[in-house]
Structure formats: structure tokens, C-alpha cells
Amino acid sequence: MSYIIANLLFVAVLCLWFLSCVVAYAQQGSAATDACTSTDSSLERARLLGMPQAIETQNAEFENDNFWNEHGSLIQQAWKEWEMEHATTLSDFDNDVKEQEGWVNSSLLKAIIDAFTNPSEESEAAVKSLWTNNSKGTSNQVMPKGVYATQLLSPRGISYLRNLLELASESGIPTRRPNGMNRHGMILDSDVHGAVPVQPIVKIVEEIIDRIARPVGRMLFQDRIGCEDDVDYYAFTISYDGTTTNTRSIQSKDMELKEHRDASVVTLNINLNLPEENYGGSEVFFRGYPPAESWSSSDLFASNSKDEEDGGGTVTFSPGMAIIHLGSHRHGSLPINSAHSNSNSEGKQPNDGKRFNLVIWLFGTLGDVRIAPYSKDEQLSASQR
């Protein structure tokens, strides 16, 4: 009997020992798994968050706001890590366009530098002459009243910006929708949660603002912009896609933009399509130019006239072309379609049927947007502009 009990005790001890080994092994495996899946990398943690879906096409400025407030700091840190990882590639891009004249219209840049160096009505007139308005110029089209156009970027400049933006879009880091109407694109800013703060991109945006958008806006709209009205900016990219015919796909794309005003005193809108990328439609339409003479506070909510005799019209972008206009000038974008929708052209490009633009809004401190015009004696002098 004692022999049987001893054997049973031995078996029990053996079972307990085996069970403890199994538990220990499982714990070790769990720890190893945790070590593989957990990370201190902000970049990897940000990539695991996933991209919040942008759905609404109007008044959606605060869509998914809780997500961006909760994860904004993590995402900004992730971009710093990403930028360090891609330092060599970003440097290579920068070296390709080191000379500013290589990516910007050199004639325009020279005229602006001359106006800075020798401010006068004459030097400003040379700048203004390079912006088409109410006469055939850029792309041989007549601009609506109050809308000015120029050939701003060279193919080299477009390619530089597109390469930077494409590299950033492939980062896997969540990015916030560009504004309350457009769903596809990116905010370009060092401080906004959900924006792309990559320094080469922010640097080129701020260069465009300081060298072109701000001084040209002040020259062309002297009665609308004072020295404190355009000190801050909001920059973003937008993308329109006319390549799909499936109903569900169409609903998820931005194909047009409803009539609206911008939250800016002045807007610079630059086309980023490469010369070989074609699309149809997508003209920007403008209503009548908001007059200064009869301005009142109620004009903020009124619709501008649709009639072309009141200054309205449409603008068709060409690669590298920029337009500048008052933010209060009502406008929108007509539907886009694929340039090759009914053909199997051998020359078709991957981005045919799409339009890409960089948009820059200028406004005052804390988002202040001045609408009321300035009297003649209140306007900035050439040296102040």
C-alpha cells in the first residue's frame, strides 16, 4: 500500500514539475512576443494608429478632431523620426534644386527682388506685368476680374515638390484632411496636429510666401491688404480625381468643389501637375469681383454675381501655373474627368485624370481675415509693401 502511495506522490510531483515548466515556457514566449510587438518608436506607434476616414464635404473642419488632439504630439514626434530616417533622400532632392532660379520663374523672381531692393511704383509695375489679368496671357486665356495668373514653377520645380509630397504620403503616418471641404490632400505646417511638418516642404512653402505670395498680394490688392493682414498662413495640398466610374469609388473621391469663400485675405493657388499629366474639366470658376466701393458688413454673407460682365469667369490650370485672388472672392471647381476616359492611349500616364494643387491662405494674427477695404491714405506705400 505504501509503495502505491509513494508512486502516486512521485507521479503528482512529476506532473506539477511538468506543469510549471509549461507555464514558464509560455511566459517566456509571451515576453518574447511582447518584445517583438511593442516598440518605443513613435514612428511605428503612429503607423499602427491607422488613418481616420474623411467623409464630409462641407463644414468638416473638425472632423475626427478628438483623434488629432489625442495623438497629435505622437504624430509630430513620428515625423521627426521619419525625417531623420530619410535625411539622405531629402538632401538629394534639395541638391537637385539648390539654385532657386531652377524651380521658380526666374523673370518673376528677379522682378520681385528688384522691387524689394528698390521699392517704387515702377519696380512694382514690372512685377505686376508678369501677372495676367483681363487680357490673354497664361495659357492664352482671359482671367476673371480680380484674378491674376503667372507661370510660377518650372517642370523641375513641380517635380521637386511632387517628389517631396509623394515621399511624405508614403510614410504611413496619419495625415489630417486639408480643409472642411476637400478630403484628399495634406496640411503643410510645423505646428498643426495632423499636418506634415517635414522641414524641406515647410521651407519651400514659406519661401513661396515670403518671396511671392505676400509681396505680390500687397502689390495687386493695395486697397485690401495692410501690413498686419497677411502675417500668418495656412498651406495645404488638394487632389481631384476623375479616373473612376464606379459609384462607390466616385463617392470617395474629390471630383469638384462647391462655391465658397476662403478663410483668407488673399489666396495663392499653384498647379502641381507635371507636363505629361492630363485631365479634363476641373476649371476654377469665379463669381463677380467683390467691389470695394459699395462694401458693407452684409457682403460677407452675400453671393457675388455669376455674370461674366460683373467680372466672373473660369480659369483652366496648366502645369506650374499659379493664380492669386482675394479670399472673399467666391469661387469653386467644376467636375474633373479623365482625359483618356474613352481611349486606351499608349501615352496614358498613371496620374492622368487627376489634378494636384498647392494652396496657400494668408491672413492676420489668430486667423483674423480683414474684409473691409482701405482708403487711399490708409494704404501701404511701395517701401512698406
pTM listed for this prediction: 0.84
In the prediction, which pLDDT does 99 show?
Answer: 54
Angle at 146 between CA 144 and CA 147, to 5 degrees: 60
At 216, list the grid cell. Answer: 505680390
Closest by CA position to 172, among listed 272, 37, 81? 81
Q: How far apart are CA 203 and CA 194, in angstroms?
A: 18
Residue 56 cell numbers, joined = 464630409
Q: What is d(CA 349, CA 277) in angstroms, rounded to the nearest whole number?
A: 6
Whose CA is closest to 224, among 122, 145, 149, 325? Answer: 325
The residue with cell 506543469 is 19
Residue 34, pLDDT score: 37
For 293, how many CA atoms within 13 A lie in the half-sphere containing its CB? 1
Cα(97)–Cα(149) distance, rounded to whole angstroms?
24
Q: How far apart are CA 109 and CA 147, in angstroms?
A: 20
pLDDT for the residue numbered 262:
97
Predicted local confidence at residue 30, as pLDDT: 40
What 134-141 contacts at long range (C-beta under 8 Å, 24+ apart), as own/partner pairs, is 138/318, 138/321, 139/316, 139/317, 139/318, 139/321, 141/315, 141/316
User: For residue range 133-171, what is the model confidence (pLDDT) as tens digits?
Assistant: 854 445 568 899 999 999 999 999 999 999 999 999 999
Closest CA to 224 of 364, 355, 342: 364
SS3 for 210? helix
**Residue 145 C-beta-side C-alpha neighbours within 13 Å:** 14
pLDDT on residue 8: 43
Question: Which cell numbers hold the place of 276?
Answer: 505629361
Query: For the purposes of burial, counting CB atoms within 10 Å of the CB of 363, is it exposed (0-12), middle (13-18) or buried (19 or more)?
Result: buried
Helix residue ranges, H only, the chain: 2-37, 42-49, 65-85, 87-96, 106-117, 121-128, 155-169, 199-208, 214-220, 247-252
Model pLDDT, residue 209: 97
- What is the rounded CA–CA span in Å between residue 195 and residue 264? 19
Q: Residue 324 is inside which H or E element, if any?
A: strand 321-326
C-alpha cell at 267: 489666396
**Which residue's C-alpha cell is 467636375?**
335
pLDDT (0 to 100) of residue 250? 56
Q: Phi/psi of residue 355, each to 5°?
A: -120, 135
pLDDT in tens, 295-341: 555 554 455 555 555 779 999 999 999 999 999 999 999 999 986 54
For 237, the 3-state DSSP assignment is strand
CA-to-CA separations, 107 to 100, 133, 274, in angstroms, rounded: 12, 18, 21
In the three-class reduction of DSSP (H, G, I as helix; E, B as strand; rest coil), residue 16 is classed as: helix
| Residue numbers in the chain where pLDDT is lower than 70 | 1-39, 96-101, 134-140, 245-251, 293-309, 339-350
